[in-house]
Amino acid sequence: MKSLIVILICGLMIAAAVGEAVSQEVVVVNMKVTKIGFDPAEVTVDKGQTVVLKITAVDRDHGIVIPRLGVPRTLLPKGEEVEVKFTASKPGTYRFKCSVRCGWRHVLGWVSGNIIVK
């Protein structure tokens, strides 16, 4: 009986480890941002994926914030690639926007985009 319990526990641990491996799939997206906007401005990922945005501000300093995905205001210094990482745990459309006032398009909320989690 004792060995059966040990086998069961081992089985559960293996199942848990496999489940984790599946949900830890990583997607890397290269992104650029200028005063015109983010490129790409729309990124579609699958639920459960870990997403790494590699963002380069091209023309001046910018920033990014994705409130509903837990990404705080992050500075994107001009010419420097910055990694922003989050897990897409729930389906939905998540707005991201520049967090550094960079021009009139920023003031109008146009330096922004969407992460779509399917």
User: In whole angstroms, what is the distance from residue 111 CA to residue 36 CA?
Assistant: 7
Shortest CB 21 distance to Cu ion, Å: 38
Shortest CB 111 distance to Cu ion, Å: 4
Q: Are 75 and 59 in contact (CB under 8 A)?
A: no
Nearer to Cu ion, 100 or 115 (CB): 100
Pairing of strands 26-33, 62-66: unpaired
Shortest CB 51 distance to Cu ion, Å: 21
Phi, psi of 104 (to 5 degrees): -70, -30
By CB under 5 A, which span of 24-32, 53-61, 80-88, 93-101 interacts with Cu ion?
Answer: 93-101
Applying CB under 5 A, among 49, 96, 106, 113 the residue interacting with Cu ion is 106
Does 53 sit near Cu ion (CB under 5 A)?
no
Nearer to Cu ion, 73 or 118 (CB): 73
Q: Are 51 and 94 in contact (CB under 8 A)?
A: no
Does 43 sit near Cu ion (CB under 5 A)?
no
User: In whole angstroms, what is the distance from residue 54 CA to residue 32 CA?
Assistant: 8
Q: How far is CA 44 from the centre of its chain?
A: 10
Applying CB under 5 A, among 98, 113, 115, 117 the residue interacting with Cu ion is 98
* Interacting residues with Cu ion (CB under 5 A): 98, 100, 102, 106, 111
